[in-house]
Amino acid sequence: MITLTEAARDKVNELRSKESNDSACVRVSVLGGGCSGLKYDLSFDSTSTDSDHVFEDKGVKIFVNKKSMLYVAGTVLDYTGGLNGKGFQFINPNASRTCGCGESFSV
């Protein structure tokens, strides 16, 4: 399962509203690459596939494909803004190492 903080939920809702797509779901994926070997990918999607795990937290539906789920199970998606950076952050209990930017990891 993947959960969102209230800050992440608020930012997702803001972005959905800007795109005039209030029913869009969040797709979380893990791709090869980044300085630690794997990187996170977030996007909006309107339909799930047969190979997706589907979760809902704080009114936001989240799709994760089976392969990515192996790497992100139990992850909390947060959003921070401020002087030290701004954006979505993954608090991933499965990551043994993350890069300085927080966008890539290894297990």
pLDDT in tens, the chain (107 residues): 999 999 999 999 999 999 888 889 999 999 987 766 888 899 999 999 999 999 999 999 999 999 999 999 999 999 998 777 678 989 989 887 676 555 666 67
pTM over 0.75: yes
Greatest alpha-carbon pair distance for the chain in Å reads 41
> ∠ CA(38), CA(95), CA(27), 5° rounding?
60
DSSP-derived secondary structure letter, 71: H
Domain boundary assignment for the chain: 3-106
Cα distances (Å, whole numbers) of residue 44 to 2, 24, 83:
15, 6, 26
CATH number of the domain at 3-106, out of 3.50.30.60, 2.60.300.12, 3.30.420.40, 2.40.10.10? Answer: 2.60.300.12
CB of 91 closer than 8 Å to CB of 84: no
